[in-house]
């Protein structure tokens, strides 16, 4: 279970190296302390403790959005925590937000750069701290793609100038608007093909926490096969992006959010919709995956489809990388990734919306 308290300091952090969207975490966070003594000689009341242990989601609002934390045993019930997100960008842009591993900050693309918000545990709200903008109106550069390092110490993002992308960073907790930005990170060319697969996840963090660009590999299904795949893998072996198309019925498998991804084994989930028909895929709701010598991705069933025969539209692994929560048209389930036993139904009806919806599931922390 992860807790955020104003009186604690950062300790261990866990985080996927695979990329954007669903990020399970297990951490303690440094927030505001109780503060210095007031003019009356009495210390102010300590800020309330915020419990991030559970299913973390973001509800897009108008104008402000809200982060919620629900119990994994009752994900459709009343959330145990609600934290407002200041409306610094249109609500749908919160879809692209990245949260720090300790939930103390979030960063998201804004019209003039990257907006960074800091958690105020006393008010239970994320409030704007500063904006990162390219220097000079005629610089021709843009900032995008923010991600926090696995240890939570730095915020990395892309500086795009012409046909070049450089990964730059700051120490986000101590940064003040106008401070220098470290531009010594790796550099890469902009993908030549517009709409290049995986262009939103061109890079990933190595196990040591260093960012690296990934090389795109595409493999078409052989004449006697059924799987077409594409992926980006860094020199360090981290999979930044992966997609497998099952050509028999055009089902797609994507990286399971919350799981570290490396060539020697990772998990992928079926990417279905609640309205999708039943499927005949032999790879299940969750599949174990590996990259073969020819660059193709092989799949084997880890979690069966279940009674309704549909792929999940939401799936996220827990912070211990042992269990997964997933949703299909017949309800919400939790199950072990190690196999054995039937999935446990924790909600009779689907209640979690997938990406691009007004309610976005982020993590099982």
What phi, psi does 95 have (nearest 5°)?
Answer: -50, -30
C-beta of residue 158 within 8 angstroms of C-beta of residue 134? no
Return the pLDDT at 1: 35
* Domain residue ranges in the chain: 3-364
Residue 207 has pLDDT above 60, yes or no: yes
Q: Using 50, 70 and 90 to split pLDDT, how confident is the model at 18?
A: very low
Q: Please return the burial class of 139, using the count of CB atoms within 10 Å of its CB with bins 0-12, 13-18 and 19+.
A: exposed
- For residue 164 the two structure tokens come to 């070049």
* pLDDT score at 320: 82
For 290-336, the pLDDT digits (tens) are: 999 889 999 998 888 777 778 888 888 888 878 889 888 888 989 88
- The continuous run of DSSP H or E covering 204 comes out as strand 203-205
Per-residue confidence (pLDDT) for residue 356, from 0 to 100: 44
CA pair distance 171, 181, nearest whole angstrom: 9
Nearest-angstrom CA–CA distance, 157 and 147:
6
Interatomic CA distance for residues 64 and 60, integer angstroms? 7
Q: Give the pLDDT confidence of 177-189 residue by residue, as tens digits.
A: 889 999 999 999 9
Nearest to 258 by CA among 7, 21, 4, 1: 21
Rounded to whole angstroms, the Cα distance separating 286 from 350 reads: 18
DSSP for 82-135?
Answer: EEEE--SS-GGGGGG-EE-TTSSEEEEEETTEEEEEEEETTTTEEEEEEEE--S
Q: Three-class SS of residue 13?
A: coil
Would you say 129 and 94 are in contact if contact means Cβ atoms under 8 Å apart? Answer: no
Q: What's the chain's average pLDDT? A: 79
The tens digit of pLDDT for each residue in 55-85 reads: 998 887 777 788 999 999 999 999 999 999 9
What pLDDT was estimated at residue 284? 86
Reply yes or no on whether the pLDDT at 261 is more than 90.
no
Backbone angles phi, psi at 91, to 5 degrees: -55, -40
State the DSSP string of 256-299. PBTS--BTTBEEEEE---TTPPP---TT-SEEEEEE-TTS-EEE
Work out the pLDDT band at 33, boundaries 50, 70, 90. Answer: very low
Closest CA relative to residue 256, chosen from 163, 363, 101, 338: 363
> Residues with Cβ < 8 Å from 200, sequence gap 6 or more?
20, 145, 241
The torsion angles phi and psi of 294, rounded to 5 degrees, stand at -85, 5
Report residue 8's pLDDT band, with 50, 70 and 90 as the boundaries.
very low
Q: Which two tokens stand for residue 246?
A: 């099952």
Q: How far apart are CA 149 and CA 176, in angstroms?
A: 19
For the stretch 148-200, pLDDT in tens is 999 999 999 999 988 899 999 999 999 988 899 999 999 999 887 666 667 77
Average pLDDT over residues 347-355: 79
pLDDT value for 25: 36
d(C-alpha 218, C-alpha 54), whole Å: 36
Highest-pLDDT range among 137-141, 147-151, 282-286: 147-151
Model pLDDT, residue 52: 92
Dihedrals phi, psi of 93, to nearest 5 degrees: -70, -20
**DSSP for 128-155, written as a single string:** EEEEE--SSTTS-EEEEEEEE-TTSS-E
Residue carrying the six token digits 């239970």: 124
pLDDT at 276 over 70: no
Query: 236 or 122, which is more confident?
Result: 122
Could you give the 3-state DSSP secondary structure of residue 20? coil
Q: Could you tell me the pLDDT band of residue 96, with boundaries at 50, 70 and 90?
A: confident
Least confident of 44-58, 132-146, 235-249: 132-146
């Amino acid at each position: 279970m992860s807790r955020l308290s104003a009186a604690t300091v950062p300790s261990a952090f866990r985080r996927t190296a695979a990329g954007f969207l669903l990020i399970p975490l297990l951490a303690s966070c440094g927030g505001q302390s109780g503060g210095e003594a007031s003019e009356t000689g009495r210390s102010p009341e300590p800020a309330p403790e915020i419990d991030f242990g559970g299913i973390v989601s973001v509800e897009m609002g108008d104008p402000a959005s809200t982060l919620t934390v629900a119990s994994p045993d009752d994900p459709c019930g009343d959330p145990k925590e609600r934290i407002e997100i200041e409306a610094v960008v249109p609500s749908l842009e919160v879809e692209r937000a990245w949260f720090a591993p300790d939930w103390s900050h979030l960063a998201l693309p804004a019209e003039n750069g990257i907006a960074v918000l800091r958690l105020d545990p006393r008010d239970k709200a994320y409030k704007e701290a500063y904006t990162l903008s390219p220097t000079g109106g005629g610089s021709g550069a843009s900032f995008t793609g923010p991600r926090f390092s696995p240890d939570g110490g730095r915020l990395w993002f892309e500086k795009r100038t012409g046909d070049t992308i450089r990964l730059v960073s700051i120490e986000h907790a101590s940064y003040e608007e106008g401070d220098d930005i470290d531009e010594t990170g790796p550099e890469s060319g902009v993908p030549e093909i517009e709409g290049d697969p995986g262009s939103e996840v061109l890079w990933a963090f190595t196990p040591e926490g260093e960012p690296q660009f990934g090389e795109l590999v595409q493999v078409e299904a052989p004449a006697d096969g059924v799987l077409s795949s594409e992926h980006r893998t860094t020199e360090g072996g981290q999979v930044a992006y992966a997609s497998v198309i099952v050509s028999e019925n055009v089902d797609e498998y994507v990286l399971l959010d919350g799981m570290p991804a490396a060539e020697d084994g990772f998990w992928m989930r079926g990417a279905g919709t609640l309205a999708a028909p039943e499927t005949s895929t032999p790879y299940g709701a969750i599949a174990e995956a590996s990259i073969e010598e020819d660059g193709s991705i092989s799949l084997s069933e880890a979690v069966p489809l279940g009674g309704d025969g549909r792929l999940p539209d939401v799936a996220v692994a827990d912070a211990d990388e042992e269990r997964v929560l997933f949703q299909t048209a017949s309800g919400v389930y939790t199950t072990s990734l190690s196999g054995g036993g039937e999935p446990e139904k924790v909600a009779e009806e689907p209640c979690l919306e997938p990406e691009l919806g007004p309610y976005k599931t982020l993590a099982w922390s």
